[in-house]
Structure 1
Amino acid sequence: MFPRQKLWYLEVIAVHPSLQSRGLGGGVMRWILEHVRDEPIFLECTREDNLTFYQSFGFEVVEVVELAEEDQTGDVFKHWVMVRPGKS
């Protein structure tokens, strides 16, 4: 039997570079977390620089995914799967 708890997926959070460092992203994140309350939520982070932002809201890295380019140039696209566990 599956738990009746909801699972939320946060698809995209972005602030234009010219508007960053003004608290806009944090305000949006606080609103989202208030809305989902204590239910689990996960997201995929595509910039390593943003990990600490999400960690400050209780998200934890649960998996790092690396995708190699098909042309064998050695370029790797990396993203981090992050979860904020629910409390209920």
Structure 2
Amino acid sequence: MKRSCKVQMRPLGLDNGSIKTAAEIISLSFASDPLIRWLSRDRSGPGWETLTPTLQQWQEARLREYAMRGIAMEAVSMDDAHRSLGSCFLFPPRTLYRWMNPLWWPSCRIGIMMESHNDFEERIKKKYPPNSLYYLEIAAVRPDTQGMGVGRTIMQWVVQNLGDNPCYIECTDKNNVAFYIKYGFELVEETELVDEEDAMPPTTLFYMIRDTSKLKK
């Protein structure tokens, strides 16, 4: 069993080094994610764990955009090294955003994913007062520090900053649903993404809501 480590949250810097590190953490964290593998054009080729220059450039570009529009945080060790171990991007109530589409992901699959995202967001927003629904876009931890309390620190920060505001996430891996439930999120909907022109089995998005009051029916 891994030992826990002392971690603290701090705003993610916009300097090249901070963005680069966050991009690497997210790529490694989601390397085997079912949605990422489903989106891939060449599933027999290298995955996100290879940290190719093209992938790194794309990750850095989208994270820089996220950091400008949302609340970007990183989890760092509390020792002298202050090593970055995880990151999260929380979006306050906002309008729909565009997805930066890398060339190695077929546009049709991006469209299928975004159609599901936009449909759920449009429906769920109607259940809450205007400008009250948050969206947790990313919560990622370095794979070599999983089980050491980094994810717990990130989610405790998220919950504290949400206060009584509702928040939703799209969990892309069924194995992680139970983790989010521990922090007050409830699984409210499952959506299967199917590319009828591709032999790849479908993948599933698990939509979860955190609401301090009972979810309106």
Q: Which one has a larger percent helix, Structure 1 or Structure 2?
A: 2
Number of residue pairs matched by the alignment: 86
Higher relative CO (Cα under 8 Å, sequence separation at least 6) belongs to 1
2:140 maps to 1:14: yes
| 1:57 aligned partner, one-letter code | Y
C-alpha deviation, 1:67, in angstroms: 0.8
TM-score by length of 2: 0.37
Q: How does 1:16-55 map to 2 (within 5 A)?
A: 16-55=142-181
C-alpha deviation, 1:6, in angstroms: 1.4
Q: Which one has a larger percent strand, Structure 1 or Structure 2?
A: 1
**In 2, distance between residues paired with 1:4 and 1:70?**
36
Report if aligned partners of 1:40, 1:83 keep a CA contact under 8 Å in 2. yes
| Residues 3-56 of structure 1 deviation map (CA, whole Å, 9 limit, x = unaligned) | 256111000111121110011011011011101111111000000110000001
5+ residue gaps, structure 1: none
Matched position secondary structure for 1:54:
helix
Matched position secondary structure for 1:29:
helix
- Percent identity between matched residues is 36
The answer to which of 45-54 and 10-19 deviates more is: 10-19
Give 1:79's aligned residue: 205
Larger Rg: 2
| Residues 50-84 of structure 1 deviation map (CA, whole Å, 9 limit, x = unaligned) | 00000011111111010112334151011100001
Aligned alpha-carbon RMSD (Å): 1.7
Matched position secondary structure for 1:13:
strand
**In 2, distance between residues paired with 1:73 and 1:49?**
24
5+ residue gaps, structure 2: 1-127
